[in-house]
Chain A
Amino acid sequence: DAGITQSPRYKITETGRQVTLMCHQTWSHSYMFWYRQDLGHGLRLIYYSAAADITDKGEVPDGYVVSRSKTENFPLTLESATRSQTSVYFCASSEEGGQPQHFGDGTRLSIL
């Protein structure tokens, strides 16, 4: 089915480990985004991408790495996970810069 899917939905890991969250969209949208959602903060932008091979930092990029070798995929990697990165992560995409963003169902990440 068309849409945006995130995997895994739930992940538990330990501090210091590398974790990769996957995001895949079937609309061929140009823009893709990664957010984290924490209580009292709404959503905060981690990284975004305007097209394949083009990425840029958002509000809270430290500790995260992204890549976009293909238009449909936008993985987010935590190279050395810390407890402060425990959060719910949402991936989103939009057709163009000024269009509404469509969200995946999120990944709940717990770092022990």
Chain B
Amino acid sequence: AQSVTQLGSHVSVSEGALVLLRCNYSSSVPPYLFWYVQYPNQGLQLLLKYTSAATLVKGINGFEAEFKKSETSFHLTKPSAHMSDAAEYFCVVMDSNYQLIWGAGTKLIIKP
């Protein structure tokens, strides 16, 4: 069965610094990978989606993620953090039955 591991329940970066949120999936290659973002007291919004068309996926708000099969990783990055990026980020795998398997989430904290 698919599983997703997000490294670090909390990540703190300074405003303007690089954002790196780590995600590893289980060994079998999933058909789809996603990153979702949840702002405080809100629902979940799709940030980006990997569908095997390209290993580097660009999403909204300047985020991107790179699929690395050899490392079973799908890390999320943003070159320069903004205060408005403070939120919780979820790495998600879609299995062969189209069900979503969610990571536990990483809270991104932006320091002024």
Contact-residue bracket for chain B:
10 to 19
- Assess whether A58 is in contact with B45, with CB atoms less than 8 Å apart: no
Residues of chain B within 8 A (CB-CB) of A33 are 100
Rounded to whole Å, the gap between the CB of B43 and the closest CB of chain A is 4
Q: How many residues of A contact B (CB 8 A)?
A: 21
Rounded to whole Å, the gap between the CB of B48 and the closest CB of chain A is 10
Rounded to whole Å, the gap between the CB of B86 and the closest CB of chain A is 18
Residues of chain B within 8 A (CB-CB) of A74 are none
Residues of chain B within 8 A (CB-CB) of A103 are 43-45
Rounded to whole Å, the gap between the CB of A93 and the closest CB of chain B is 12
Alpha-carbon distance A90/B44, docked complex (angstroms)? 9
Interface residues of B (CB under 8 A from A): 9, 31-32, 34, 42-46, 49, 90, 94, 98-100, 102-105
